[in-house]
Chain A
């Protein structure tokens, strides 16, 4: 392939993936509202389109046309920057997620991944951790005390789970001996090779930390509605708020995709095409998130720190040690 062809194919892939992710985010909100509705003996959105399927579009239109209110005492530059800092890293992590096997289209061999980095896993963890800066900056620059508390909580929360988050997948990496997402999928070719069976503790730890990473219930302290009104995004409106919103859902999708790739065999599965299998696994993971949100109360800030440092962190360390002893001795 010539240089131009590679550029062209990559650009098309990027556009397709970004659009798919944004659509995925929109329909995650639909799924969430529908599922939570049913959990709570309600119907959920059902007016816009069949089964309320056009609801996300209606929501988007509403948010775009809302007035963008900027309070007087904000730090203007950081205030404008913060939603972007949340939004962009959330999208970046999809660059290394493999959505399927090689396919042949128009005579080209196309990989169903934007970029197969050798350090794919590391890249994902690096960029998803950046999102917290956006939250802290938003909290600080809003000039509101509730936002400030949300931002402070977010940074404290990040410190307490990030270590365990990183350690939770070390077990898998020790077994696999690679950081490439594609290679990880290749190593889970049969059902019982899935890393969830070889690393059950690691999987549980990953799920818990991923919830904290994406600020979802029961770890939604930075935006705890009943305590901090809306936390770090209290002062945001219109598209700026929407960017936080999409960022949060993109992050959820990202950690779900990573979990699918690392623990659930990625796009592999019988009969159905790979991309469908991938979507099913991600959707299951997202539903689990939503289920938790509909069920659990919120932890308190000090309880989360305790949990992170006294339970998750030692457990993750232990898991790494045991894995290393079993597989590498």
Chain B
């Protein structure tokens, strides 16, 4: 018990081990009864030093580390890094690579949002949702596995293309997802939207105004929930997103319920994009032809002297991008994920800095929960959708 502002309050240490803080977040709550007087998030329990480690690694060796940041959306992290380095090198990707990347990152968005809707509902007490959402996510993980051999840390994108060509049954699998998930989304909405308890737990909870959201530098669904129309895919298109027809759902009230609605709608829009990309995907090479930067095809390595030398050189000492600095942002499921990479002309990044959407969105937590009940803290943490791997990096 401590005296604060003339009132007796209790300090409750929520986390780092707590079932609903989505990892190792620690929130120091000052409670008056069950009302939150003050909330202070503490981060750093999962600090892995990815940004610093990147400085001592060849460019292509950084990719597997990016998976470990937002481990629910590995493809998005890969994409951000690869795009940034490609920008540094001035590489243009073949159409097929661009489309494959769009399909896979949009599926990643769906997978990430599915985990989110499951855990968010679980936090509110509706435990079955978790299992339903994971069942659907499984189909997407199967695609990861078919593509890269890995289900979570896929590391499928490479600088200059993809690690391997897409699997033969890729189209069939994606079409299956396009067919199944819209039906399942309807089921979720029947279970949650129509449920009075769910609505009363989320509507009007954790409100943040558009102005505050901008001032906190929020991005992704947290920002759009407050009605600010900013989506990197529309504002600064990458990977040819300007060619696809999709909408950016916006909220009005900036509460937990609006953020929920937006993520549900985003999944539908992602499916739309996936459908268009799947239809428009041309055949062609899955890697750009850039000798000395991108690995040559395996057949060439086995039969041609130059290719063998390039292969050996790239693997052992990497490539050296020109001096300079780039910033490349993408719309990850959590928000604007940006990579700032500065090169000093050597084969390793001089500095890599990640703009982590989870970390910045988390900074709005005190704003959203102070003055509300403790049970709302859980709802709000869930609605911000943080992944601690990305918060701490």
> Residues on A close to B: CB < 8 A?
36, 39-42, 145-146, 149, 152-153, 217-218, 220, 224-227, 229, 293-303
Contacts and interface: CB of A to CB of B under 8 A. Distances in A.
A297 B195 contact: yes
A220 B127 CA distance: 13
Nearest to B192: A297
Contact of A226 (B12, B20, B132): B20
B191 interface: yes
B200 A301 contact: no
Contacts of B374: 149, 227
Contacts of A299: 197, 200-201
B128 A40 contact: yes
A295 B191 contact: yes
B135 A296 contact: no
Interface stretch (B40-48, B118-126, B223-231, B329-337): B118-126
Given A218-B197, A227-B374, A295 B125 contact: no
Contacts of B375: 224, 227, 298, 300-301
B34 interface: yes
27 contacts: A36-B128, A39-B128, A40-B128, A40-B132, A145-B12, A145-B13, A149-B34, A149-B374, A220-B125, A226-B123, A227-B20, A227-B375, A293-B127, A294-B128, A296-B126, A296-B197, A297-B121, A297-B124, A297-B125, A297-B126, A297-B195, A297-B198, A298-B197, A298-B201, A300-B201, A300-B376, A303-B197
B128 A224 contact: no
B129 to A, nearest CB: 9
Contacts of A153: 34
A301 B12 contact: no
B20 A296 contact: no
A293 B373 CA distance: 23
Given A229-B19, A297-B195, A218 B125 contact: yes
A223 to B, nearest CB: 11
Given A229-B19, A302-B373, A42 B125 contact: no
Given A218-B197, A301-B375, A295 B126 contact: yes
A149 B31 CA distance: 11
Given A229-B19, A301-B373, A303-B200, A40 B122 contact: no
Contacts of B131: 40-42
A42 B220 CA distance: 33
Interface string B1-22: 0000000001011000011100
A165 to B, nearest CB: 20
Contacts of A41: 131-132, 135
B191 to A, nearest CB: 7
B133 to A, nearest CB: 11
B378 interface: yes
B19 A226 contact: yes
Determine which residue in A149, A296, A299 has the highest number of CB atoms from chain B within 10 A of its CB, and name it. Answer: A296
Interface in B11-63: 12-13, 18-20, 34
Majority-rule SS of A interface residues? helix
Contacts of A298: 124-125, 197, 201, 375
Majority-rule SS of B interface residues? helix
Contact of A301 (B34, B123, B127): B34
A152 B12 CA distance: 15
Nearest to A303: B200
Given A145-B10, A297-B198, A298-B124, A229 B132 contact: no
A140 to B, nearest CB: 14
Contacts of A301: 34, 373, 375
Given A227-B20, A227-B375, A227-B378, A297 B34 contact: no
Contacts of A42: 131
Nearest to A37: B131
B29 to A, nearest CB: 10
A305 to B, nearest CB: 11
Given A145-B12, A298-B201, 17 more contacts: A36-B127, A36-B128, A149-B34, A218-B197, A220-B125, A224-B375, A227-B20, A295-B191, A296-B126, A296-B197, A299-B200, A300-B200, A300-B201, A300-B376, A301-B34, A301-B373, A301-B375
A-B pairs with the 8 shortest C-beta distances? Answer: A298-B125, A40-B131, A226-B20, A297-B126, A297-B124, A297-B125, A226-B123, A300-B375
Contacts of B122: 226
Contacts of A224: 125, 375
B196 to A, nearest CB: 9
A153 B373 CA distance: 12
Nearest to B121: A297
Contacts of A40: 127-128, 130-132
A255 B195 CA distance: 26
Contacts of A39: 128
Contacts of B20: 226-227
Nearest to A298: B125
A226 B124 contact: yes
A254 to B, nearest CB: 24
Determine which residue in A293, A296, A297, A299 has the highest number of CB atoms from chain B within 10 A of its CB, and name it. Answer: A297
A234 to B, nearest CB: 11
Given A145-B10, A298-B197, A303-B200, A226 B373 contact: no
Contacts of B195: 296-297
A209 B191 CA distance: 23
A145 B376 CA distance: 18
Nearest to A149: B34
A301 B128 CA distance: 22
B233 to A, nearest CB: 32
